[in-house]
Amino acid sequence: MRVIRSMILGLLLGAIVGLYFGWGQFPAESRNSGLSDLARPFRDDYIVMVAAGYAVDGDVDGVSQRLSRLGIDDAPSAIRESAERIIHSSARGLADIGLLVHLADGLGQLTQPMQPFLDVNRERA
């Protein structure tokens, strides 16, 4: 009985320690993530890059296709939410916000918080 007890306790404790090190301290460097798995800053980065592409070609279909790779089905709403969040948190520079606002405007999602940045864009243009 004591052997079984020790075995269960050892395996359990060992597995917990193994999981802690394997996931916490030394996580596996997987190269099998999708765009939808990106961390938020990189996700925002991708959205800004897509917005920059839109600023060049004005291609709404292309935007939708590219954002769908992030797992975003409703591109206009997602752009509006991202733009507002980034404006409120000042997470990115003025140029990036300008691109997002320009895209949101193109998708018919311009809201009050975005308005000043759209004006900035127009002044720059």
Within 10 A of 35 (CB to CB), how many other CB atoms are there? 15
Q: How far is CA 19 from CA 8, 13, 25, 28, in A?
A: 16, 10, 9, 11
Tell me how far the alpha carbon of residue 2 is from its chain's centroid. 52
CB of 8 to other proteins, least distance (A): 8
CB of 60 to other proteins, least distance (A): 9
CB of 109 to other proteins, least distance (A): 19
Q: How far is CA 26 from CA 15, 22, 29, 30, 73, in A?
A: 15, 5, 9, 12, 34
Cβ-based nearer residue to other proteins, 65 or 111: 65
CB of 119 to other proteins, least distance (A): 20
Cβ-based nearer residue to other proteins, 37 or 74: 37
Cβ-based nearer residue to other proteins, 3 or 89: 3
| Cβ-proximal residues to 38 (8 Å cutoff; 6+ apart), any chain | 46, 70
- Interface residues with other proteins (CB under 8 A) are 2-3, 5-23, 27-39, 42, 45-46, 48-50, 52-53, 55-57, 59, 61-62, 65-66, 69, 99
Cβ-based nearer residue to other proteins, 18 or 113: 18
Rounded Cα distance, 53 and 104, in Å: 13
